[in-house]
Amino acid sequence: MDIIIRRTPDEVGAYAADCIEPFARQGATIGLATGSTPNPTYKELIRRHREEGLSFANCKAFLLDEYYGLPRDHEQSYYSTIRREFTGSIDIPDAAVASPNGEAEDPHSAAASYDHAIRHAGGVDIQILGIGANGHIAFNEPTSSLRSRTRLIDLHPRTIEDNARFFDSADEVPRQALSQGIGTILEARHLVLIATGPAKANAVQALVEGPLSASCPASALQLHNAATVVVDESAAELLSDAETYKDFDPYWR
């Protein structure tokens, strides 16, 4: 893993945007994450699109996950969120932005179709990831199999609590989601996990310095050959050996 520590969330976003830009230029397939953490990255990519002509016209995108049972046009569905926060402000064709079907009658076959669609598109070239305070990636909660595939997941009470800020109350947060599995995520050719703020410090420490364990789903990044973890100083504050991590650009940049 490459560990990159930057001073602020905006600097983290600029670094992550630097990682994604060459893939956009190649018309790659980009894996997108929702949540607050990637927003500075998306803002920077939108700026480069508007001011520097960075085009995503030949790209495809796959979202990591989607609430199950929330209509696609609900403002908090991830289908709507990614359009509002990112893809609606760049030139990627709307039909090229895929997400799991959270309205499917049969969630199990919707999950299998999603894995199939990713493979059919040739796989994800670069995947952006956030991390939950409990170490989850996408909606893979602690105890998720490290080889899991896209599937229906019951959300952890902590995740429901964390996401309640986007809804009028915790009661309105859907209880289930369709999420790419850890095995699915590990098939992406490059991973860029971003984390900012002190609330993520424990999870970042477990991801970077803890054992490989389903108790911290993000620790599965230790198995990947091109995973970059980009954190700000407050998310890095519990790393016991931060000063020795090489702040080198990853080999693939």
Any idea which residues carry the catalytic annotation?
Answer: 65, 134, 136, 141
Q: In angstroms, what is the minimal distance from the CB of 177 to ligand PGA?
A: 11
Q: Between 130 and 174, whose beta carbon lies closer to ligand PGA?
A: 130
Per-residue binding letters, 50-69, with ligand PGA (x by CB under 6 A): --------------------
Q: Which of positions 96-135 make contact with ligand PGA (CB under 6 A)?
A: 130-132
**Upper half-sphere CA count for residue 206 (Cβ side, 13 Å):** 21
Q: Which of positions 186-215 make contact with ligand PGA (CB under 6 A)?
A: none
Q: Is 9 in the site for ligand PGA (CB under 6 A)?
A: no
5 bridge partner residues: 231
Overall size of the chain counted in residues:
253
Q: In angstroms, what is the minimal distance from the CB of 36 to ligand PGA?
A: 4
Q: Is 179 in the site for ligand PGA (CB under 6 A)?
A: no
Q: Is 35 in the site for ligand PGA (CB under 6 A)?
A: yes
# of chain residues touching ligand PGA (CB under 6 A): 6
Buried b or exposed e, range 116-154, using 16+ CB within 10 angstroms: eebeeeeebbbbbbbbbbbbbbbbbbbebebebbbbbbe
Q: Between 36 and 109, whose beta carbon lies closer to ligand PGA?
A: 36
Backbone angles phi, psi at 166, to 5 degrees: -90, -10
Q: Between 56 and 78, whose beta carbon lies closer to ligand PGA?
A: 78
Q: Is 230 in the site for ligand PGA (CB under 6 A)?
A: no
By CB under 6 A, which span of 7-15, 18-26, 34-42, 114-122 interacts with ligand PGA? 34-42
63 bridge partner residues: 32
Site residues (CB under 6 A) for ligand PGA? 35-37, 130-132
